[in-house]
A and B are shown apart, each in its own frame.
Chain A
Amino acid sequence: MSSSLGHLSRRDVLHRGSLGFGSLALAGLLDQESAAAVDPHFAPKAKHVIFLYMDGGVSHVDSFDPKPLLKKENGQKPKFEVEATVFNNNGNILASPWDFKNYGKSGIPISDLFPHIGSCSDELCVMRSMTAFFPSHPNANYFLHSGLILAGRPSMGAWASYGLGSANTDLPTYVVVHGGQVPSGGLQMTGEGFLPAAHGPSVLHPKGVVLQNINPQEKQAGLQEDKLALLRQIDGKLQEQRPDSALIASAVKNYEMAYRMQMAVPEVTDIAKESEAIKELYGLNSKFDNTRTYGAQCLMIRRLFEKGVRFVELTITTGNGDRWDQHGGLKKGHSQNALAVDQPIAALIKDLESRGLLDSTLIVFAGEFGRTPFAQGRDHNPQGFSIWMAGGGIKGGTIYGATDEYGYHAIENKMTVHDMHANMLHLMGVDHKKLTYRCGGRDVRLTDVHGEIIPEILA
């Protein structure tokens, strides 16, 4: 391969020295799409998406799927066959330590873990018949994010960015606001996989160093701008010589965005400008550190949307005992985890609603699986669990699907993670069957070869 730069490039040397990189790798790098905005397949209901990732597996029978039979048979040996679980140390039926209340006009029952979210019940579509297929955290997490059991495929947010493009150029389309708790399987699962790098998330923190190296080091005013102008000039010459290289074009664009992010990121986190009422609503004055942190994360979302970010995923906070993975210590663990997220999530719903933004924002609350109805704490339960959605295009005040009377298996209107993905894309105006990317000789989808639209959950 000869270089059009008119001299021996480093690549030429490597090639001729037979130490070269595989031509496949190069082809992959060069074959990049631009990150410009593209038209959706049909009119979207949601212009923005929030994925509230509940790391570790929220127990559905203790939150959104009440099972009176557990109370009745509390302490008794299960009358049915118990399948193997991850820890496989299953004991007797365990009733929920929490009571359930019926909330709102819809009367949806939600446990005392989530009283604030309960007050938003008329906005929620609670899906109780969710199923996943993999009981171990990393694989269940990869599946939840990318539709595949293995690591390496693009996450939902990356597909959204690829499908919809960028609404602005100051911030990336897709942002992860990281509470600190790294998901089992790695934060990389939120990444873009084989999609072009422009569709990867910017990972921001709600406090402290929001984004590494965001501040210019230059002391003299205007020096950074001078340098960047000179850089643009010389890189421009390179682009003229190599107009075929999408890689160079992409890298140049990244620098342009990085420059604008220097201004945009501090603006997004300058929460001091918010009213006292808003800060109070989101729990920024809470006694509990993790409520304050998660509250700051939720408050950032609205500000990110105001700057044109389209997809935001939240990971949960750390320093809260374990994440939702309460194999033991159910009462303490789930209470602490709920305390961190309940008020901020409700505040987010209410804040978006009061600004007229809820109709165009899809909110998804989901973990990688649920928890078993037996004791020794609760083990992983992918065969039946709950998620909920609210906002753009979702039928609020609705319950969809059901598990059996023990909350063990989904039995009515069973749905899968693939269906969740298909419906999320649908609400963004994207046909999940048409949004593909060629990888490994296949036109790959977020939904793989699965996924059904569920009309009952759509408004």
Chain B
Amino acid sequence: MPTQAIQNLEITNFKCFKDLKVSGIGQVNLIGGKNNVGKTAFLEAVELFLNSKTASDLIFMFKTILKRRQNEIKYCEVDIFYSNEKEITLSTPHFKSCRIKRLSDYIDNSASIGDRGLPTEGLSFFLKEANGNEDEKSFPSYLFTKPETYDFHIDFWKNFSGIITYISSAKLKEQDIAILLGKLIDVDREDLLNKSLSSFDSNIITIKQIATQQGVVLKLKLKNQNNLVLLSSLGEGVNRYIAIICAIWANKDGFLLIDEIENGIHYTNYKKLWEIIFEASVAANCQLFITSHSKECISAFNDIQFENDKCDAQYFEFYKNLKTGLIDASGRDKEQLRYALTHEGRIRGE
């Protein structure tokens, strides 16, 4: 397991989660469930938690998550508190805890934004690490809600590597894939990628980065074709497959979040995809959190759970508990998941 891997996570008052405890988290974690049960919100909570090593990181990730969902909107709303609650906590016992709190008093923000500052509503960001170190910063709320303040021009933003740890359900930009590919080449795993690409699509021989004056363009060498073919001209499935493999290696000794992994990928390739994910996650020491709506994709995941015993892979079902009215998560081991899949089990919140 990665050095920063988490085995459990407790989430309070974050988005749709009033009180969620997830235990038994493994190296590769697949999450299923109906719409609006918090699968993506869980990925965001994990991202917020694992990407934050200081209170400033927490502020940055808070903003990133808000912007990702609301990037088309001129006015950005702080919508990550459950109901009207005032305090979010994300914690792993004996590891670390994060807290984001609505301040009941106005804060004086003149120190953070100069003489423009006036007492204003704020948010407090607190982080406590396993070694006992504590860090806290308060920040005016309005800085999160106006798009022109996106960059903040504050030094601590520069500490971030910019490496993608979250692959959304939408198609990735080619520039982002190129950066991830660069990281994979850095760790000398290009051969592995090309080999798995051939397995994914037998027509693909290799991927090439072509530097142009406008930036890097990705091209593929295909069988029986003399000219290289633009990656962007191929289907979404190949783009996503490449992005996922590269992102695992780009996040060596870290973690990766993938939303709706099956998007664009043909079902006959699911097993190959899981094979490479299981192998790469162990080799790159990368912990993965992945969501899926597809039963075929979950079945393929379960098949590989039985074939690869080196990777600790877990399945979690998110659902609304009708007795408590809250969202819960339950883990199934590989035997139980197989039983459910072969006995019309309701593994996706049905």
The judgment on whether A and B are partners is no
Residues of B near any A CB (own CB < 8 A): none
